[in-house]
């Protein structure tokens, strides 16, 4: 929790200006600003987002300098009343909206000053995320710098040893370096690679979005200004004044969840529900040679909702008259009998046969992998065909055990070089989340 985090830091006098009153745009002002914001996102080619504690307040995690912030209350000799922990906190609408914007290709890089781990646990790709002040769930090796992501909070702060050792296999055996937490104290230097990537992306940015941050802490607070060198636009969404309000091209005074919900709605981008902590290592937009950290996920539960290695999904429609690959969908749409889905990933092949009786198998496992919900099973063939043809948001359920079903989603992103509508095989790049 941010209270425990604040208590674990060294004493420090210069915590910035705290307790500024909050300001709200009128509904009419907010509507116009969201229209403009949506237009900027739609036109952008390289959008970067910088987040602060304000994106996590609706998850029950207090901010630091707000009217009821940790340090604001500290100045009054008070402590905030907190009902959640870092481990029980759930990603907010804003966290999930940023995941959706990245997946759709709008958001190129996310820079966070938060240590709560909610960006990573929401499924935001690690190689497109900079956590400049650390992560309460991450340890790092002091020798090879491999990071280990856990589902529980690490026991130390301020880059101290956690008592664990690195298990990475090296050319001369296991590394065995000592692991330390990644949480920075006041005077600690920011991580070199993540700061370098943050600066690089901000210089490239034609749109820099600042969410829930007063931009008082440097060097992160000055990163948005780098986008101005490339004639980039700066949008700030925060209820209190920020350090760079005068340099902002668009200044919005509203709750970040409300703003991000409305922007995604205007862009026709769906914000997914949250089904549990999920760690994603690589973006589906990752380019060859792209710099990234070596990250290991230690707890399998963080992988339960996502397979980052899914490379391709093939959808094949077959008719009872002719099972050849050349048969076109349009000619036999009303007579489709089977829908076959094959997901190819590292070491795993999944064959899904969708007919009147849904039966799906997972290689090397006896449990069902995907099962259509009852409402989907009862849809007519034409509707089911349209779902696969149109591309993206198929909803599935994963049986955890008999009688217990865990809701899950499967997403497919259509390749840029899409095939003809009359083709029997449609290819999608995608991932299960």
Q: Which residues are catalytic?
A: 133
What CA–CA distance (Å, rounded) separates 207 from 188?
Answer: 29
> In residues, how long is the chain?
433
What CA–CA distance (Å, rounded) separates 95 from 92?
Answer: 5
Output the CA torsion sign for 208, 211, 214, 218: negative
Residue 114's contacts (CB-CB under 8 Å, 6 or more residues apart) are 51, 52, 53, 55, 56, 131, 133
Residue pointed to by tokens 């935001």:
124
Given a contact cutoff of 8 angstroms between Cβ atoms, the answer to whether 408 and 100 are in contact is no
Residue 341's contacts (CB-CB under 8 Å, 6 or more residues apart) are 313, 314, 315, 316, 350, 351, 352, 354, 370, 388
Is 208 marked as binding a ligand? no
Is 144 marked as binding a ligand? yes
Is 220 marked as binding a ligand? no
Is 202 marked as binding a ligand? no
Following DSSP, what letter does each residue of 300-352 receive, concatenated?
GGGGTT-BTT--EEEEEEE-SS--STT--HHHHGGG--EEEEEEEETTEEEEE
What CA–CA distance (Å, rounded) separates 413 from 84?
Answer: 35
Output the CA torsion sign for 7, 12, 13, 17: negative
What CA–CA distance (Å, rounded) separates 398 from 377?
Answer: 15
User: Coil, strand or helix: which one is 392?
Assistant: coil
Given its phi and psi angles, is residue 19 left (phi above 0), alpha (psi -120 to 50 degrees) or beta?
left
Q: Which residues sit in the known binding site for Zn(2+)? A: 141, 144, 166, 175
Q: Which residues sit in the known binding site? A: 141, 144, 166, 175
């Amino acid at each position: 929790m941010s209270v425990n985090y604040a208590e674990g830091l060294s004493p420090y006098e210069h915590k910035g200006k705290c307790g500024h009153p909050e300001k709200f745009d009128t509904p009419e002002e907010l509507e116009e600003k969201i229209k403009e914001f949506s237009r900027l996102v739609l036109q952008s080619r390289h959008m970067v987002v910088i987040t602060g504690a304000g994106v996590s307040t609706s998850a029950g995690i207090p901010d630091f300098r707000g009217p009821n912030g940790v340090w604001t209350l500290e100045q009054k000799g008070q402590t905030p009343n907190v009902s959640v922990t870092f481990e029980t906190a759930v990603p907010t609408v804003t966290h999930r909206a940023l995941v959706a914007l990245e997946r759709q290709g709008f958001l190129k890089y996310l820079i966070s000053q938060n240590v709560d781990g909610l960006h990573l646990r929401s499924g935001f790709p690690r190689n497109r995320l900079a956590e400049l002040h650390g992560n309460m769930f991450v340890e790092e090796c002091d020798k090879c710098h491999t990071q280990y992501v856990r589902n529980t909070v690490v026991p130390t702060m301020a880059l101290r040893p956690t008592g664990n050792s690195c298990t990475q296999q090296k050319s001369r055996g296991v590394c065995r370096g000592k692991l330390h937490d990644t949480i920075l104290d006041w005077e600690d230097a920011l991580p070199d690679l993540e700061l370098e990537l943050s600066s690089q992306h901000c210089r490239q940015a034609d749109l820099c979005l600042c969410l829930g941050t007063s931009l008082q802490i440097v060097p992160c607070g000055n990163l948005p200004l780098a986008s101005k060198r490339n004639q980039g636009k700066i949008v700030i969404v925060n209820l209190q004044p920020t350090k760079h309000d005068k340099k902002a091209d668009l200044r919005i005074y509203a709750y970040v969840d409300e703003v991000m919900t409305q922007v995604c709605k205007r862009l026709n981008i769906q914000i997914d529900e949250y089904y549990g902590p999920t760690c994603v290592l690589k973006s589906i937009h990752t380019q060859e040679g792209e710099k990234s950290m070596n990250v290991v996920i230690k707890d399998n539960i963080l992988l339960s909702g996502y397979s980052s290695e899914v490379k391709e999904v093939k959808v094949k429609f077959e008719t009872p008259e002719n099972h050849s690959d050349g048969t076109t969908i349009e000619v036999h749409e009303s007579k489709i009998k089977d829908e076959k889905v094959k997901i190819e990933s590292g070491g795993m092949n999944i064959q899904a046969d969708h007919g009147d009786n849904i039966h799906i198998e997972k290689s090397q496992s006896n449990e069902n992998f995907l099962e259509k919900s009852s409402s989907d099973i009862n849809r007519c063939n034409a509707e089911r065909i349209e779902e696969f043809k149109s591309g993206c948001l198929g909803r599935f359920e994963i049986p955890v055990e008999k009688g217990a079903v865990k809701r899950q989603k499967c997403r497919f992103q259509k390749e840029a070089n899409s095939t003809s509508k009359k083709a029997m095989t449609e290819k999608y790049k995608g991932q299960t989340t």
